[in-house]
A and B are shown apart, each in its own frame.
Chain A
Amino acid sequence: DADVTQTPRNRITKTGKRIMLECSQTKGHDRMYWYRQDPGLGLRLIYYSFDVKDINKGEISDGYSVSRQAQAKFSLSLESAIPNQTALYFCATSDPLSEQFFGPGTRLTVL
């Protein structure tokens, strides 16, 4: 089984809808991250969490919120989706002495 899983893998939604992307990990890491990837822009950090009680905004947090339900689970929500949030979303995990391990990604389309 994959160490970092993301659900759903693909999602099409409409402008104004609330959606949640979920991430689970079995690596036992304390740190979890949400990124979005757009062509020509690389990966940009949305939110990160260094432990269950520590959540921080990244470079592009406007329009997004997160919830760290447990050490292994970190969810990203779009409260009211808009078309420019169409992107590939990645969850990642790490501990202080390891690289970041990425999930397979969620392809989100907002119509």
Chain B
Amino acid sequence: QKEVEQDPGPLSVPEGAIVSLNCTYSNSAFQYFMWYRQYSRKGPELLMYTYSSGNKEDGRFTAQVDKSSKYISLFIRDSQPSDSATYLCAMSNAGGTSYGKLTFGQGTILTVHP
């Protein structure tokens, strides 16, 4: 069993829809949680970072962490065609620094059509 499981998708939604992307994990040592966005033919770039249970908002994006259930989500409100990309969840354990080794989910391809 992989340490991090991500809903594989792909997802195709109309512009303006609310998108929900999800990951579960099995390693209780994971304490830091990230969402990366990867456009086609590009490297991943950090979108959201959080380390506590609860919600964190940044514009149209909300990252949600539930450590008791080992479940994280990324919500995108009012989705735009420019949000079309692969979204990767990533996690890091509490040993060392928060930005040490990352374990990634498989990625979800999202397409937002006009």
Identify the A interface with B (CB < 8 A): 4, 31, 40-45, 48, 58, 90, 92, 94-105
Contact = CB atoms under 8 A, between A and B. Distances in A.
B101 A42 contact: no
30 contacts: A4-B43, A31-B99, A40-B8, A40-B106, A41-B106, A42-B88, A42-B105, A42-B106, A42-B107, A43-B44, A43-B107, A44-B104, A45-B101, A45-B102, A90-B43, A90-B44, A94-B99, A96-B97, A97-B99, A99-B49, A99-B99, A101-B45, A102-B43, A102-B44, A103-B43, A104-B42, A104-B43, A105-B41, A105-B42, A105-B43
Contacts of A103: 43
B42, B90, B104 — most chain A CB neighbours (10 Å): B104
Interface residues of B, number: 22
Nearest to B3: A59
Interface of B: 4, 6, 8, 34, 41-46, 49, 88, 90, 97, 99, 101-107
Q: In terms of DSSP, what is the predominant structure of the interface of chain B?
A: loop
Contacts, number: 52
Nearest to B43: A102
A92 B4 CA distance: 20
A76 to B, nearest CB: 15
B43 A98 contact: no
B101 A58 contact: yes
